[in-house]
Chain A
Amino acid sequence: MAYQASALQVRDPAALPRLVLTILVLALFWPGFSLTEFDLTALFDTRSRETMGKFVSTFFPLETSPGFLQLVARSTLETLAIATAGTVLAMLLAAPFALAITRSLSISRIGPGRGYWLGRILRLPARFAVMFFRSIPEIVWALLFVRAVGLGPAAGVLAIGVTYGGMLGKVYSEILESNDTRPAAALLETGSGRMAAFFYGLWPVALPELVSYTVYRWECAVRASVIMGFVGAGGLGLQMELSMRMLNGGEVSTILLVFLLLVMLADAVSAILRKVTA
Chain B
Amino acid sequence: MSLRLDDIRHVYANGYCAVNGVSCAVGTGERVAIIGPSGAGKTTLLRLLATALRPSAGALNVLGADPWRIDRTALRRLRSRIGMVHQAPPIPPRQRVVTAVLAGRLGQWPAWKSLASLVYPADIRGAEQMLGRMEIADKLFERCDRLSGGQLQRVGVARVLYQRPDLILTDEPVSAVDPALSDRVVGELNREAMARGVTLVASLHAVDLALHWFPRVIGVKVGEIAFDLPPVRISDAMLRELYASEMAQAPTQGYQPFEAMVPGVRRKPVYF
Q: Do A and B come from one complex?
A: yes
Contact indicator B84/A190 (Cβ below 8 Å)? yes
Contact indicator B106/A193 (Cβ below 8 Å)? yes
Contact indicator B90/A186 (Cβ below 8 Å)? yes
Contact indicator B52/A110 (Cβ below 8 Å)? yes
Taken residue by residue from 85 to 116, chain B's Cβ proximity to chain A (1 for < 8 Å, 0 otherwise) reads as: 01010111111000100011011110100110
Chain B residues with CB below 8 A from A192, complex form: 80, 103, 106-107, 114
Given contacts A182-B90, A190-B80, A199-B118, contact A113 B99 (CB under 8 A): no
User: Besides the contacts A190-B106, A191-B82, what 8 more A-B pairs have beta carbons closer than 8 Å?
Assistant: A110-B52, A113-B72, A182-B90, A190-B82, A191-B76, A191-B80, A191-B108, A204-B92
Report which B residues bind A (CB closer than 8 A): 50-54, 67-72, 74-84, 86, 88, 90-95, 99, 103-104, 106-109, 111, 114-115, 118, 163, 165, 244-245
**Cα distance A199–B103 when bound, in Å?**
10
Given contacts A187-B106, A192-B107, contact A113 B74 (CB under 8 A): yes
**Cα distance A186–B52 when bound, in Å?**
9
Contact indicator A195/B114 (Cβ below 8 Å)? yes
Q: Indicate if A200 sits at the interface (CB-CB under 8 A).
A: yes
**Cα distance A229–B162 when bound, in Å?**
57
CB nearest to A180 among chain B residues: B92
Q: Number of A residues whose C-beta is below 8 Å from B? A: 31
What is the minimal beta-carbon distance from A182 to any residue of chain B, in angstroms?
A: 4
Chain B residues with CB below 8 A from A114, complex form: 70-72
Report which A residues bind B (CB closer than 8 A): 1, 107, 110-116, 180, 182-183, 185-193, 195-197, 199-201, 204-205, 207, 278
What is the minimal beta-carbon distance from B271 to any residue of chain A, in angstroms?
A: 29
A/B pair count, beta carbons within 8 Å: 107
What is the minimal beta-carbon distance from B110 to any residue of chain A, in angstroms?
A: 9
Chain A residues with CB below 8 A from B68, complex form: 111, 113
Contact indicator A190/B104 (Cβ below 8 Å)? yes
Given contacts A111-B75, A199-B118, contact A190 B163 (CB under 8 A): yes
**Cα distance A116–B68 when bound, in Å?**
12
Q: List 18 A-B contacts (CB under 8 A).
A: A111-B54, A111-B67, A112-B72, A113-B71, A113-B74, A186-B90, A188-B79, A190-B82, A191-B76, A192-B107, A193-B76, A193-B106, A193-B114, A195-B115, A196-B106, A199-B114, A200-B106, A201-B92
**Cα distance A37–B245 when bound, in Å?**
63
What is the minimal beta-carbon distance from B231 to any residue of chain A, in angstroms?
A: 27
